[in-house]
Amino acid sequence: MANDASTVFDLVILGGGSGGYAAALRGAQLGLDVALIEKGKVGGTCLHNGCIPTKALLHAGEIADQARESAQFGVKATFEGIDMEAVNKYKDEVISGLYKGLQGLIASRKVHYIEGEGKLSSPTSVDVNGQRVQGRHVLLATGSVPKSLPGLEIDGNRIISSDHALKMDRVPKSAIVLGGGVIGVEFASAWKSFGTEITIVEGLKHLVPVEDENSSKLLERAFRKRGIRFNLGTFFDKAEYTEDGVRVTLADGKTFEAELLLVAIGRGPVSQGLGYEEQGVAMDRGYVLVDEYMQTNVPTISAVGDLVPTLQLAHVGFAEGILVAERLAGLKTVPIDYDGVPKVTYCHPEVASVGITEAKAKEIYGADKVVALKYNLAGNGKSKILKTAGEIKLVQVKDGAVVGVHMVGDRMGEQVGEAQLIYNWEALPSEVAQLIHAHPTQNEAMGEAHLALAGKPLHAHD
């Protein structure tokens, strides 16, 4: 293994999650000599403890709901229950296939892969397995872990994190989900489909609070119809064991009891004890601070992914990792417009968006300069066939470009690709209205919404 002091890599990457491995693959593709250090499995949180396994659970839940509801489509089917052993087998097979593929990519690009727990030892080196790996540049990509609150101990028994939830061998009869953001509502949705009685506790006034308020309200309405209970606007106070479960008390004294408590209040950066501060890297609340090109205050060190205070999304990590690799290879790079990043919450129904909210647009441009239009999926043939409800909401600067696309409904995540082109290419409603969208598709709703915003609605009232 050529990782002694006599070998100097062009790029040494600490962390093999989305941001780290994307930088490794792109860097190697551009001719950089890359060393990638990972203490666990390449692929990181997204592949092993996040995006992929949760979406597998959600799909299993969708199949369960379809079996229960098949009669409305004229199909006679019976739902006999959830076999968690089989569900986990399906989930793990998906992960395993992608993991093997990623390992193959790393090998084929000739990335020097080192398995072990690394620590930044100088502005140009990482120590791992008792050896020092030298580089002209170091990329920090050590990711994140589930967060908790002061005095709330995640014990993996009755009080669990998303990591524990992904490995459960049973379906809980009841659960309290602390946190109504992406992680919380996705687990709430999957478990409800499996048959769990759910109560979500969110301290802010809406579910998925970073989304446009209209999207939050639509999701709340859909969750009520599904029998998912939630308590909004009051913060958590304490949790304690009962005889056969857990009791959660809120700041106003209200209590809830269930078999278990899922703590889903977000994820915090993995940065403690890794040598960052000792080497002079500027930090804030555990996050590594970077400029728009992902460079820290130390010229030879960059950082990407959940470790930096940007959107905690795998595709953001990919983009940040690629940006760093291309910058180091001498290519011209463009900073990421984080408003232009597509966001999808994969609950039932899905919530998808790109761009800014109506409230943010009014704050930036002035209330009289912002136009908002809602297109109800009830007017979309394919959505009618699927029996999904929801809306596409467009936010436009008056006489100008569309600056926000906000969608709620089953499979809306599949429409966010065109939505991000509309936002990022600063498209006018009239320009999108000229494009022909296939009929009958849910994608057609995107075209219909822009037709309406352009002043020539077809399958919608004036």
Angstrom distance (rounded) from CA 347 to CA 216: 12
Q: What is the pLDDT of residues 123-172, one digit of tens each?
A: 999 999 999 999 999 999 999 999 999 999 999 999 999 999 999 999 99
**What's the angle, vertex CA 31, arms to CA 25 and CA 35, rounded to 5?**
55
Output the six-digit token pair for 74.
Answer: 């004229």
Residues 6+ apart with CB under 8 A from 346: 54, 55, 58, 186, 189, 413
Give the C-alpha distances (Å, rounded to integers) separating 335 from 138, 292, 295, 323, 412. 19, 6, 11, 8, 27
pLDDT the model gives residue 321: 98
Q: Decide: 427 and 401 in contact? Cβ < 8 Å.
A: yes
Torsional sign, CA 10, 14, 16, 20: negative
SS3 state at 303: strand
| 320 class by beta-carbon count within 10 Å (0-12 exposed, 13-18 middle, 19+ buried) | buried
Find all residues with CB under 8 Å of 21, minimum gap 6, and list them: 36, 42, 43, 44, 102, 106, 321
Catalytically annotated residue among 348, 439, 459, 461: 439
Residue 276: the pLDDT is 98
Q: How far apart are CA 280 and CA 120, in angstroms?
A: 11
In angstroms, how far apart are the furthest CA atoms of the chain?
A: 72
Q: How many residues does the chain have?
A: 462
pLDDT for the residue 462: 64
Residue 179 CA to residue 200 CA, distance in Å, equals 7
User: Could you give the angle at the alpha carbon of 301 between the alpha carbons of 295 and 304, nearest 5°?
Assistant: 55
Give the integer Cα–Cα distance in Å for 459 and 446. 12
For the chain (length 462 residues), average pLDDT per consecutive 10? 67 98 98 97 94 97 96 96 97 97 96 97 97 97 95 95 96 98 98 98 97 98 98 97 96 97 97 97 98 98 98 97 98 97 98 98 98 95 95 97 98 97 97 96 96 89 66
pLDDT tens-digit profile of 87-120? 999 999 999 999 999 999 999 999 999 999 999 9
Q: What is the pLDDT of residues 36-92, one digit of tens each?
A: 999 999 999 999 999 999 999 999 999 999 999 999 999 999 999 999 999 999 999
Name the nearest CA neighbour of 340 among 395, 422, 445, 461.
422
Q: Does residue 206 carry a catalytic annotation?
A: no
Cβ contact 40:32 at 8 Å: no
Closest CA to 226 of 265, 261, 191: 191
Contact between 404 and 394 (Cβ < 8 Å): yes
pLDDT, residue 3, reads: 45
Backbone angles phi, psi at 125, to 5 degrees: -155, 155
CA 353, CA 341: separation in Å to the nearest integer? 9
Paired residues of 216 in beta bridges? none
Beta carbons within 8 Å of 133's beta carbon, 6+ residues apart: 3, 9, 12, 35, 37, 114, 118, 125, 126, 127
